[in-house]
Amino acid sequence: MSGSALALPDRDRAAAGAIGVAADILRGRRVAVLTGAGISTDSGIPDYRGEGAPVRTPMTFQQFLADPDYRRRYWAGSHLGWRSFSSARPNAGHEALVDLERAGVVNGVATQNVDGLHVRAGSRHVVDLHGSMDRVRCLRCGQSYARASVAEQIERRNPWLDEPGAVVLAPDGDVEVTDVARFEPPSCTVCGGVLKPDIVFFGEFVPPEKFAEAAALVRSADALLVAGSSLVVNSGMRLVMQAVRRRLPVVIVNRGVTKGDTRAAVKIDAGTSETLTALRERLV
């Protein structure tokens, strides 16, 4: 059997064909982009809903507010997670979107991620639907902090976190603090109030002004490209339905099934980095 195309596995052959169809659909159109956790997996940030992801029960906003023990547990894990977040770097998928924006193909990115990688990659018009981990605010007085300064406060209050055995790394890459009761969470240096990362917790709603910004991207576009989102979270599916109502073509790139597959003009079952890179080559 000869020919590289014939040598490809069936799944990869199907993806390659779908990329060509997607490029034909998007060519000459102004494209709004919605991204989810799948775009950041190649930067070392796990996708909690993708194929093979472990089942998790995230902390709700109500739990965080009501119980100091929940806040200790959250901040301990969040601080250790922040170390990974802050060291992560944009990948080829993020960079492809930057190039597409510079070329005038993409009008902006609405992201469900809180890792800040789109901004670090150089995207200019980014709507953080669920906030960003690099900002922290006080729930009492509203004072805002850079996450790095809060991380320094946590490390000063909890030097024991660096002791051998204080932190256990699980096989799936998660972290567990062995003595949460010992952990001293950060507090507002202005009023002493409770601090919370400026992100949307489970049990909270996306701020209306943020969703309005994302909706405006879709309204000013001729197509919607979804990259790395299963569309389980309602904010993402609402944007897809807005595009569908306007009869805009929707292209979905995601490993595995998404809630929007039946609404898509084309679904590409492949990784986001390689797919967005291939689309850039065809559209720029």
Q: Which residue has the higher pLDDT, 8 or 282?
A: 282
pLDDT band at 36 (very low <50, low <70, confident <90, very high): very high
pTM of structure: 0.87
Mean pLDDT taken over the chain: 88
Output the pLDDT for position 85. Answer: 74
Would the pLDDT of 232 be above 80?
A: yes
Q: Which residue has the higher pLDDT, 195 or 47?
A: 195
Output the pLDDT for position 179. Answer: 74
Mean pLDDT for the stretch of residues 134-139: 95
Minimum mean pLDDT among 8-17, 32-41, 110-119, 262-271: which range?
Answer: 8-17
Output the pLDDT for position 153. Answer: 96
Mean pLDDT for the stretch of residues 265-269: 96
Give the residue ranges of DSSP H helices in 38-197. 61-66, 68-87, 92-102, 117-121, 147-157
- Give Cβ neighbours of residue 277 (< 8 Å, ≥ 6 apart): 92, 93, 96
Would the pLDDT of 7 be above 80?
A: no
CB 32 within 8 A of CB 107: yes
Mean pLDDT for the stretch of residues 62-76: 91
CA–CA separation, 228 and 46 (whole Å)? 12
Would the pLDDT of 57 be above 90?
A: no
Domains and CATH numbers, the chain: 9-45+90-130+204-284 (3.40.50.1220), 54-87+132-199 (3.30.1600.10)
Output the pLDDT for position 151. Answer: 93
Output the pLDDT for position 165. Answer: 60
Structure tokens at 41: 């997996």
pLDDT in tens, 167-209: 554 443 445 666 788 899 999 999 999 999 999 998 899 999 9
Nearest to 233 by CA among 205, 254, 252: 205
Minimum mean pLDDT among 24-38, 50-64, 205-219, 237-251: which range?
Answer: 50-64
Residues catalogued as catalytic:
130
Mean pLDDT for the stretch of residues 230-237: 94
Q: At what angle do helices 68-87 and 147-157 cross, to 10 degrees?
A: 120
